[in-house]
Chain A
Amino acid sequence: GNSVTQMEGPVTLSEEAFLTINCTYTATGYPSLFWYVQYPGEGLQLLLKATKADDKGSNKGFEATYRKETTSFHLEKGSVQVSDSAVYFCALNSARQLTFGSGTQLTVLP
C-alpha cells in the first residue's frame, strides 16, 4: 500500500532560519504529491503540489521538488517567519485517496 514518512517534530527555529522538513513516500504508479499546512484551530490548507517527476511546487517562499529517484518531496524555506508556525503534512494522492504523513509541528521564535 501507499505510505508517507515524514520527519518527526517538533521543530523549533529562530526567525530567518532555513527550514527543511523531510518527506519520503512509497507508492505504486505515479502519485501526485502535496504539502498541506494546518494553523492552530484550523483545517488543512494546500501549501504546494507537484504532479510529476522533477516538478517543483512553490508558494509563500516554500518549495518542494518531486524526486522520483529518491521517492522524496522535501519541504524547504530559506527564511522562516513567526507566522509560519504550524503543523505541516506531506501527502500523496493516488486513486483519489490522500495518504498523509504524520505531520511536523514547526515553531518559529522571534
Chain B
Amino acid sequence: DTAVSQTPKYLVTQMGNDKSIKCEQNLGHDTMYWYKQDSKKFLKIMFSYNNKELIINETVPNRFSPKSPDKAHLNLHINSLELGDSAVYFCASSPRGGDNQPQHFGDGTRLSIL
C-alpha cells in the first residue's frame, strides 16, 4: 500500500548519459512535485504539476524535463548527466486544497554520476 513510490531507488551512471526516474502516487492527489536534496541535506523544489499541468518550474537546467502522463504519475528525465547532478531526488504529492495540506514524499532516488 505504498503511497508515493519512486523507481529506481539507486541509480549509478556515467557522465553524459540520459536517465529517467519514475514516480507514482496512489493517494488520489492532484499535485505532484520533484525536489533535489544535495549532499548537505538541503532540499529545493524543482517542478510542480497540478492535474498534469506544470505550475512551478524553478531555475533548473533544461536538461531536466518532467513529464506527467496522468495525475498519478510524474516522471523526471535528465539528459547529458553532469557530476553536479549527483543528489537524492524526491517525488512528493499533495491533495487539492489550501496550503494547510501536507506533502507526502517518496523514499528518494539516489543518483550518482561517475
Contact = CB atoms under 8 A, between A and B. Distances in A.
Instruction: Classify chain A: how many residues form its interface, as a range.
Output: 20 to 34
B99 A95 contact: yes
A93 B99 contact: yes
A97 B45 contact: yes
Interface of B: 4, 31, 33, 40-45, 48, 50, 55-56, 90, 92, 94, 98-108
A34 B41 contact: no
Secondary structure type dominating chain B contacts = strand
A42 B55 CA distance: 27
B99 A32 contact: yes
B7 to A, nearest CB: 13
Contact of A103 (B31, B42, B99, B105): B42
12 contacts: A31-B99, A34-B102, A43-B107, A44-B92, A51-B99, A87-B41, A93-B99, A98-B33, A100-B43, A100-B44, A103-B41, A105-B41
A92 B93 CA distance: 16
Contacts of B101: 93
Given A96-B55, A96-B94, A51 B45 contact: no
Contacts of B92: 44
Nearest to B100: A51
A98 B4 CA distance: 17
Nearest to B56: A97
A90 B103 CA distance: 13
A98 B45 contact: yes
A65 B102 CA distance: 17
Interface string A83-108: 00001010001111110101101000
A46 interface: yes
Nearest to B90: A43
Contact of A49 (B48, B102, B107): B102
A65 B60 CA distance: 34
A43 B106 contact: yes
A96 B101 CA distance: 9
A94 B99 contact: yes
Nearest to B9: A41
